[in-house]
Amino acid sequence: MQANQETYDEFDLFRDNAEEVGLAWSGPPVVRRQSVELTGGQRVSTLAWGTDSPELVFLHGGAQNAHTWDTVALALDRPLLAVDLPGHGRSDWREDRDYWPWRNAEAVAEVISQVAPEARAVIGMSLGGLTAIRLAAEHPELVRRLVVVDVTPGVDMQKSAPIAEFVQGPETFPSFDELLDRTMRYNPTRSETSLRRGILHNARPLEDGTWAWRYDKLRPPGGELHFAPLWDDVARLQAPTMLVVGSLSGVVVSDDVEEFKRRKPDVRVEIVDDAGHSIQGDQPLELARLLSDFVA
């Protein structure tokens, strides 16, 4: 796999995803990039898998992009939509730099209404999970089932400290190799192949030869994460809900799970062994299995 952007094709790496986890390869999947224009002119970019109306909608975490779901999508092998949240991937950046769940949910509601109105479930991880909670509370007609991956409104600066330290690091790097080296240091459980692939999707070379992330840097208001008001949205959830937690992650603790159960007593909770915060990266096949079971 080359680090040269001139050779990079975002649709040319799926075989690497499949081979890394032992999925049978029968040829490239049908995937297309499409842009959705929202009220006010902002554009949100998505990856549409398959040719039929999407059955599932996926929302990534902060500082990620729609390609974080590639291996899960290959394992599921069904029509789905993976969204680049505002300020991430190939979606437009916002002038006010408000990339938090409340504004994100407004954008995602428009996307689903336009291109995935019959989706059977919305799956969100981390920032995407909090966005999905807000979306489901405000637009229950768009979220028939909800899956929240390794996050609750109880997340704070302390619980997310290792992730925040990585995300709040340099915005540019002298070379691809230096970007890869830093990424590997913060993701010791992941293979170099998967991290290299992820960087190609999530960073780009600049004219001077340096490399920059594709996302607009997240800046918590006042320097603090404060998502506690979303607990009230958890209590409003009408859709069947599953909370999936990585056994090695510190982002969701037992008190958070108990609070989620108190607010949403019928929530299904699944703990994925040998998975950190990024369950879709650490245990994509197990996550795909859980999703298939829950949606079925």
Helix axes 176-186, 192-202, angle to 10 degrees: 120
Q: What is the pLDDT of residue 188?
A: 85
- Minimal CA–CA distance to 233: which of 146, 136, 160, 147? 136
**The two structure tokens encoding residue 175:** 């070379």
Look at residue 190 in the predicted model and tell me its pLDDT: 85
Catalytic residue among 45, 91, 126, 160: 126
Model confidence band, residue 2 (pLDDT cutoffs 50, 70, 90)? very low
Percent of the chain clearing pLDDT 90 (strictly above) = 88
* Residue 81 DSSP SS3: strand
- Confidence tier at 202 by pLDDT (50, 70, 90): very high
Task: Identify whether 226 is a catalytic site residue.
Answer: no
Structure confidence at residue 220 (pLDDT)? 81
In terms of Cα–Cα distance, which of 180, 186, 181, 81 is closest to 128?
Answer: 81
Give me the catalytic one of 60, 67, 88, 277: 277
Residue 70 bears catalytic tag = no
> How far apart are the C-alpha atoms of 59 and 81, rounded to whole Å?
9
Backbone angles phi, psi at 36, to 5 degrees: -115, 125
What is the C-alpha to C-alpha distance for residues 229 and 248, in angstroms, rounded to an integer?
A: 26
Q: Cα(118)–Cα(128) distance, rounded to whole angstroms?
A: 20
6-10, 84-88, 193-197, range with greatest mean pLDDT: 84-88
Once rounded to an integer, what is the mean pLDDT over residues 112-124? 98
pLDDT over 50 (residue 184)? yes
Question: Tokens 């600066």 — which residue?
Answer: 157
Which pLDDT tens digit goes with each residue over 120-138? 999 999 999 999 999 999 9
Tens of pLDDT, residue by residue over 55-107, are: 999 999 999 999 999 999 999 999 999 999 999 999 999 999 999 999 999 99
Here the tokens at position 43 are 């554009």
What is the rounded CA–CA span in Å between residue 7 and residue 228?
A: 44
150 is catalytic: yes
Asked if the model's pLDDT at residue 1 lies above 60, the reply is no
Q: Spot the catalytic one: 70, 150, 233, 256.
A: 150
CATH number of 5-161+222-295, picked from 3.40.50.1820, 3.40.50.720, 3.90.1150.10, 2.60.370.10 = 3.40.50.1820
* pLDDT tens digits, one per residue of 21-66: 999 999 999 999 999 999 999 999 999 999 999 999 999 999 999 9
Half-sphere exposure of 239 (CA within 13 A, CB side): 28
CB neighbours of residue 166 within 10 Å:
14
Measured distance CA(269)–CA(283) in Å, rounded: 16
In angstroms, the CA 37 to CA 111 distance is 8
88: nearest Cα among 71, 108, 110: 108
